[in-house]
């Protein structure tokens, strides 16, 4: 098993095919991760990502799984969505269900223009959220949906639903509390 080193301020170590703003939800040997790419950020957005309150959700339609996210201090319009695109991966690149053994989600904020890691965070998933995620990923791994059919279904779902619509029909939701470290105590 290889381990990828993620360092804030360094070039993001994983290849990113889509260079636009938005989120990517993926699972690989490094575990479950959400990568948010933004072309314009400031210190408030970085700190909001690193320590702010968030809401996470899972939504499924037509056999496609969406990771939904709401990050206070970054998105004024509420929810964003990111489909899990396992159907687009070649067979040798697909994750195995063991990649989801650890009930944590790794979050990465990346500057789209420079491909620099601006912030990272690890969130513990609730047992309910984690178990549902494992179940839905296993179903996707067993699916025979072609990449073309995946893209067509995805476009149809996006025509009918906004991210907010999806959040209202989510299968599971989890709140992530504000996580500001306490200052060190003086002795």
Give the start-to-end residue ranges of the domains of the chain.
22-176
Q: Rounded to an integer, what is the distance from CA 130 to the centroid of its chain?
A: 13
| 116 bridge partner residues | 11, 111
> Which SS3 state, helix, strand or coil, does residue 51 take?
helix
Range in 1-10, 46-55, 115-124 the model is least confident about: 1-10
Please say if the pLDDT value at position 90 is more than 50. Answer: yes
Mean pLDDT for the stretch of residues 142-161: 93
Share of the chain above pLDDT 70, in %: 89
CB environment 39-58: b (16+ within 10 A), e (fewer): eebeeebbebbbebebbbbb
Helix segments in the chain, DSSP class H: 43-51, 127-142, 147-160, 163-168
Q: Rounded to an integer, what is the distance from CA 49 to the centroid of its chain?
A: 12
- Residue 1's pLDDT is 46
CB 30 within 8 A of CB 45: no
- pLDDT 10s digits, 163-178: 999 999 999 999 998 8
Question: For residue 115, what pLDDT band results from cuts at 50, 70 and 90?
Answer: confident
Whole-number Cα distances in Å, 10 to 4, 48, 176, 179: 13, 20, 26, 23
Mean pLDDT for the stretch of residues 115-137: 93
Residue 107's contacts (CB-CB under 8 Å, 6 or more residues apart) are 33, 34, 36, 49, 120, 121, 122, 123
Mean pLDDT of the chain: 86
């Amino acid at each position: 098993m290889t381990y990828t080193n993620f360092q804030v301020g360094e070039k993001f170590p994983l290849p990113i095919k889509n260079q636009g703003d938005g989120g990517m939800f993926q699972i690989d040997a490094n575990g479950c991760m959400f990568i948010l790419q933004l072309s314009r950020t400031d210190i408030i957005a970085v700190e909001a990502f690193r320590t702010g309150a968030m809401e996470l959700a899972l939504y499924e339609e037509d056999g496609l799984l969406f990771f939904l996210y709401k990050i206070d201090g970054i998105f004024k319009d509420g929810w964003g969505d990111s489909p899990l695109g396992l159907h687009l991966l070649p067979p040798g690149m697909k994750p195995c269900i063991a990649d989801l053994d650890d009930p944590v989600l790794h979050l990465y904020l990346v500057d789209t223009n420079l491909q620099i890691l601006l912030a990272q965070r690890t969130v513990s998933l609730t047992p309910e959220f984690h178990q549902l995620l494992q179940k839905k990923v296993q179903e996707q791994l067993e699916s025979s949906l072609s990449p073309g059919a995946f893209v067509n279904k995805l476009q149809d779902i996006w025509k009918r639903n906004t991210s907010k619509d999806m959040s209202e029909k989510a299968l599971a939701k989890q709140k992530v509390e504000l996580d500001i470290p306490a200052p060190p105590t003086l002795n």
